[in-house]
């Protein structure tokens, strides 16, 4: 019988850090069981309005994009200044001013080491962590000629479950996103959502080219990409006991829908597929099963205390009737990452908080 999971300690690949502004500059050390040198950090102010900053070392850690806007890539040397052996450092920014509270989600790719990938019809630069199903991909989109369809090597070694793309330069553009829970499932080549939008899934012919495979993802100049433009993609594959991507149907009840993930979640992001609703982020940086706080991927708004989700030993359960998480009959897509697998490779079970 095979092992339930190959990732006994998710903190070796993904961690969450919360903090309160104190002094600047400052170093922040992760609290997980394993040391983690991050390659991608997504962070947000909690107590007040503030953008979602997405920074990674494939582009250069001083480069940022904002999930709640269509802005092109910016440069700021005073936010995250370095990625350390077990944490990160910040500069003279509001990250460490006064009493502001913040949260940072951090993923490991390949220690900042990239490689050239020629699996697609265009060349990409890839930093991949195949063990945890995560890669950072940079590339220049194809020129718009003929159908405009092109493919990009992602380096995951298996078919992705979610691909988030963004134009880095030039004019503003959307965070076009493919997800296995959209209409068409793994075979979807047309349906899209965007991180910065409340909009329900839309459909564009050949938006994702020939689709997703174990080596490439498809795109189309003129639909999901501007022609001859620098792009970024964050690619995720499912790993049993560590990450899960899928869909569920809300029931509109405080005894809400239960979603089996196979692990105790640390982070859950959901979006209504067939309705105009915000993207909700719930994170397990608290001490109880019930996660009250939520942020919105597509908004700069402060954290709200109205998103009631139970994080259980083997999944999550809605405890609210919010339209962004649990309206009766609505289908929601989700992405989730583990705090602890339901059962480790040695047979040790997880427990709820």
List the one residue out of 81, 99, 102 whose CA is nearest residue 23.
99
Residues 229 and 119 placed together within one structural domain of the fold: yes
Residues 231 and 248 placed together within one structural domain of the fold: no
Residues 266 and 287 placed together within one structural domain of the fold: yes
For 12, list phi and psi in degrees, rounded to 5: -75, -15
Distance from C-alpha of 296 to C-alpha of 282, rounded to nearest angstrom: 9
Residue 132 lies in a domain: yes
What pTM did the predictor assign? 0.95
Residue 267 lies in a domain: yes
Do 40 and 106 contact (CB within 8 A), yes or no? yes
**Residue finishing a domain among 188, 212, 236:** 236
The pLDDT tens digits along the chain (353 residues) read 456 889 999 999 999 999 888 777 889 999 999 999 999 999 999 999 999 999 999 999 999 999 999 999 999 998 899 999 999 999 877 666 778 899 999 999 999 999 999 999 999 999 999 999 999 999 999 997 678 999 999 999 999 999 999 999 877 899 999 999 999 999 999 999 999 999 999 999 999 999 999 999 999 998 899 999 999 999 999 999 999 999 999 999 999 999 999 999 999 999 999 999 999 999 976 546 788 889 999 999 999 987 789 999 999 999 999 999 999 999 999 999 999 997 777 667 766 55
Residues 130 and 218 placed together within one structural domain of the fold: yes
Residues 154 and 204 placed together within one structural domain of the fold: yes
**Residue finishing a domain among 87, 107, 127:** 107
CA–CA distances in Å: residue 242 to residues 16, 133, 335: 14, 9, 11
**Residue range(s) defining the domain that contains residue 141:** 115-236
* Number of domains, the chain: 3
């Amino acid at each position: 019988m095979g092992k339930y999971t190959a990732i006994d300690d998710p903190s070796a690949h993904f961690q969450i850090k919360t903090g309160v502004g104190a002094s600047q500059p400052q170093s922040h050390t992760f609290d997980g069981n394993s040391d983690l040198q991050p390659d991608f950090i997504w962070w947000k102010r909690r107590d007040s309005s503030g953008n979602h900053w997405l920074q990674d070392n494939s582009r250069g850690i001083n480069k940022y994009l904002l999930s709640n806007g269509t802005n092109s890539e910016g440069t700021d040397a005073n936010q995250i200044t370095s990625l350390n052996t077990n944490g990160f450092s910040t500069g003279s920014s509001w990250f460490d001013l006064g009493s502001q509270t913040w949260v940072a989600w951090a993923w490991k790719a390949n220690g900042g080491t990239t490689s050239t990938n020629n699996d697609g019809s265009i060349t990409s630069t890839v930093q991949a962590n195949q063990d945890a199903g995560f890669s950072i991909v940079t590339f220049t989109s194809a020129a718009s000629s003929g159908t405009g369809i092109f493919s990009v090597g992602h380096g995951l070694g298996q078919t992705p479950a979610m691909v988030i793309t963004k134009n880095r330069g030039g004019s503003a553009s959307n965070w076009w996103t493919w997800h296995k829970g959209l209409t068409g499932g793994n075979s979807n080549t047309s349906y899209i959502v965007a991180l910065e939008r409340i909009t329900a899934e839309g459909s564009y012919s050949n938006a994702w080219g020939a689709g997703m495979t174990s080596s490439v993802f498809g795109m189309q100049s003129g639909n999901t990409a501007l022609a001859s433009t620098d792009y970024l993609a964050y690619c995720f594959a499912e790993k049993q006991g560590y990450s899960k991507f899928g869909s569920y149907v809300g029931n509109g009840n405080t005894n809400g829908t239960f979603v089996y993930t196979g692990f105790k979640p640390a982070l859950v992001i959901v979006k209504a597929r067939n309705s105009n609703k915000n993207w909700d982020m719930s994170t397990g940086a608290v001490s109880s099963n019930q996660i009250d706080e939520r942020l919105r991927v597509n908004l700069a708004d402060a954290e709200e205390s109205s998103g009631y989700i139970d994080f259980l030993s083997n999944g999550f359960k809605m405890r609210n009737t919010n339209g962004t998480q649990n309206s009766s009959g609505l289908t929601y897509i989700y992405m989730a990452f583990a705090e602890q697998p339901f059962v480790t490779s040695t047979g040790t079970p997880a427990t709820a908080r």
